[in-house]
Amino acid sequence: MKKHNFSAGPCILPSSVLEKAASAVRNFNDDNLSLIEISHRSKPFVNVMERARELALEHLGLQNKGYKALFLQGGASLEFLMVAYNLLEKKAAYLNTGTWSSKAIKEAKHFGEMIEVGSSADANFNYIPKNYNIPTDVDYFHCTSNNTIFGTQLQSFPDVSIPMVCDMSSDIFSRVLDFSKFDLIYAGAQKNMGPAGTTLVVVKEEILGKVTRHIPSMLDYKVHISKDSMFNTPAVFPVYVSMLTLEWLKENGGVAAIETINNKKAALLYNEIDRNPLFKGFVANKEDRSKMNATFNLLEDGLKEQFDTLWNAAGINGLNGHRSVGGYRASMYNALPLESVQVLVDVMQELEKNA
């Protein structure tokens, strides 16, 4: 039975992408060699890397606007460090909306003065802080667009005169935004883009080269840009599968088209969470709810076993909430079909009928 995969990440990828990826591991490009046993400097793979970089900029509407796309290693966790290494000369402003923001702050604060402009740590990150002030004399402002663990999402971004850096690991390519508001966007691949093992960085070149410290080669965005994202051997397979997923997105109408479907999926599930008397959403304010990760709880603990049995029997996978929140989390990334959400809603209604 095909699973309904609500995993928070690594997560569901389009089945056509998985088929092409498996096929390339056997025989890539009809060359009778596996994708993973050819040189990363060979023409077929250089084409993959270039196509992936181009598609990333295209989906964000950032072509010919001074941005470069890189596929690096180390996940968002290494970007927490690289952002500070490359941009933090004196002080930086961070918005703290969850576990990942907190980790970004922890790594950056060793590089200069840290100004936490807002935080929802007081309520286990169940809301997005509003009306915070960003000083104009900081080197940059950093935020996290979607908080996978808590199920909150920034619906708008401040207008700032300083560079804006955003960790979009868990909602990149899921909705239309004016991405030119951002000067540096980074995202681990393993949600909407591909398998774990590569990280997309999209950076406006003009913000680089302004700190005085020595930057080690592997942590220097300028080094990676100068080598077209091939300073060292890239993560060949993760980059290839990311390219396939970005192609799939394009074939399916791009970010605008997928956003329409994502909105339908989120509306279907949140309507049920709000309607069904057995469930309650975790996020305090409805306007802060994430369209990628819906966090919710059963109001009666006694129903847990029955609910878990029902959704497991329906072929649903990955619904358990993160340990820091508990309850349930339904992650509805781009590749999750609307039908899977319907299956979950059906199970929630079945529980209500049985209860």
Q: Would you state the structure tokens that stand for residue 95, as one six-digit string?
A: 């918005």
CB of 267 to a copy of itself, least distance (A): 24
The residue among 195, 171, 187, 173 whose CA lies nearest residue 293 is 171
Is position 311 annotated as part of the catalytic site? no
- Nearer residue to a copy of itself within complex by CB, 118 or 188: 188
- Cα–Cα distances in Å, from 120 out to 141, 142, 190, 289? 17, 15, 26, 14
276 vs 340, beta carbon nearer a copy of itself: 340
Rank residues 79 and 288 by Cβ distance to a copy of itself and give the closer one. 79
Going by the annotation, the residues of the binding site for pyridoxal 5'-phosphate are 76-77, 100, 148, 167, 190, 232-233
Least distance between a copy of itself and beta carbon 38 (Å):
6
Q: Report the DSSP pairing between strands 4-5 and 316-317.
A: parallel
224: left (phi over 0), alpha (psi -120 to 50) or beta: alpha
Smaller CB distance to a copy of itself: residue 208 or 219?
A: 219
**Buried-state track 220-239, b at ≥16 Cβ within 10 A, e below 16:** bbeebbeeebbbeebbbbbb
The minimum distance between CB 107 and a copy of itself, in angstroms, equals: 6
Residue stretches of the annotated binding site = 41, 76-77, 100, 148, 167, 190, 232-233
Query: How big is the chain, counted in residues?
Result: 355
Q: Could you tell me the smallest distance in angstroms from the CB atom of residue 294 to a copy of itself? A: 17
Decide if 100 is catalytic: yes
Find the catalytic residue in 68, 139, 167, 220. 167
Q: Which residues here bind a copy of itself, judged by CB under 8 A? A: 1-3, 5, 7-13, 18-19, 21-23, 25-26, 31-34, 36-40, 73-78, 80-81, 103, 106-107, 110, 188, 190, 194-198, 214, 216-219, 231-238, 241, 317-318
What is the distance between the alpha carbons of residues 230 and 223, in angstroms, rounded to a whole number? 9
**18 vs 343 by CB, closer to a copy of itself:** 18
- DSSP letter assigned to residue 88: -
From the candidates 68, 191, 204, 265, which is the catalytic residue?
A: 191
- Nearest CA to 14 out of 346, 281, 337 is that of 337
To the query of whether residue 222 is one of the catalytic residues in this protein, the response is no
CB of 268 to a copy of itself, least distance (A): 22
| Residue 22 contacts residue 167 (beta carbons within 8 Å) | no
Known catalytic residues are 100, 167, 191
